[in-house]
Amino acid sequence: MSLIEVRNLTKAYRVFKKKEGLGGSVRGLFKREYKEVEAVKGIDLDVQQGEFVAFLGPNGAGKTTTLKLLSGVINPTSGTASVMGYVPWQRKNEYRRRFALVMGQKNQLWWDLPANESYRLHQQIYGVPDDQFKTTLDELTDLLDVRRLLRQPVRELSLGERMKMELIAAMLHSPEVLFLDEPTIGLDVIAQHNIQNFLKYYQEKRKITILLTSHYMKDIAALCKRVVIIAGGRIEYDGSLSGIIDQFSGFKILTLQFAEGHRPDLSGIGEVLDETWPKAKVRVARADVPRVLADVLRDNPIEDVAVEDLPLEDVIAKLFRASSEKASAQEAAESQ
């Protein structure tokens, strides 16, 4: 049995349609028109205990809505979900004590108080024994190197430091499931790297189950082996990170370094991406790579060659665009 089971889960919102202009605004005061927006359209998902799963999609795809459903923040329109045997939107206290939700753009700590004051409040809310609280807090503050900041008001901390404090607050009651919504949004490279290292180490040590949304592909590549892509409220892909490139990228990048003074015509090889002679980058269809390489090596003096997949960001962006266009076409067809 999966730790997280989702079956045909949907969530629709009733949204007010505002008319343009002053006249439309006045008419809207007396007769309001609404439209139904489906944020989640019947998704199925299974997550096993101890998995670290990336949940990706363009803005408005339904990622955050799904996390809110699984954490019980909102109720679904239809469908079922079970997390550790609990129905999330029943909001049982036993369930609340066993999961945590961290949203990169929301604060759970008191802004004007030091973080350790908020932590004491969390201890009381979750009923964490004193010895367990102290042990866990010591471990987390050492791992994230923030002990010196515990008595500093949260509003005085940098964005990266606040996110570390938010993660500590989420982990204090030792949750078995952790939902992370854009935990590194707006952070610099060093702060992102620090949080990635912490999450990787802590997840491997505690074997907790994590569902992560992020727009930073470096987060995904560093942390997750499994990727679920949602677009237009539907799951479009569920598999390995490497499988995304295999399934959705039909090209590879050849980097060729020619002998000094040799400059061949590259038009017959593939799409030229960059020429910094004697080096050139060419995009070639995956199926043509063996033939193209054989021809290039036979006909040209080559000092070095590299064959690489397209950057993951490019493949994901292409998939997002295709999914969004598909969803837009479906919505247009349904509205006719």
- Using alpha carbons, list the distances in angstroms from residue 124 to 78, 94, 127, 244: 35, 15, 5, 44
Among the listed residues 62, 52, 104, the one whose alpha carbon sits nearest the alpha carbon of residue 227:
52
Domain ranges of the chain: 4-245, 250-309
Determine contact, residues 330/232, Cβ cutoff 8 Å.
yes
pLDDT of residue 155: 92
pTM: 0.81
Which superfamily does 250-309 belong to? ACT-like. Chain A, domain 2 (3.30.70.1150)
C-alpha span between 140 and 146 (Å, rounded): 9
pLDDT of residue 34: 67
The CATH classification number of 4-245 equals 3.40.50.300
Residue-wise pLDDT for 263-277, tens only, equals 887 777 888 888 888
Mean pLDDT, rounded, of the chain: 86
C-alpha span between 42 and 235 (Å, rounded): 9
247: pLDDT strictly greater than 80: no
Q: Helices in 18-114 by DSSP H: which ranges?
A: 21-30, 63-70, 93-96
CA atoms within 13 A on the CB side of 146: 31
Q: Do domains 4-245 and 250-309 have the same CATH topology?
A: no
Average pLDDT over residues 252-269: 83
pLDDT of residue 231: 81
Residue-wise pLDDT for 67-121, tens only, equals 999 999 999 999 999 999 999 999 999 999 999 999 877 778 888 999 999 999 9
133: pLDDT strictly greater than 80: yes
pLDDT of residue 25: 63
Residue-wise pLDDT for 1-41, tens only, equals 789 999 999 999 876 666 676 665 666 666 667 677 788 89
C-alpha span between 112 and 155 (Å, rounded): 6
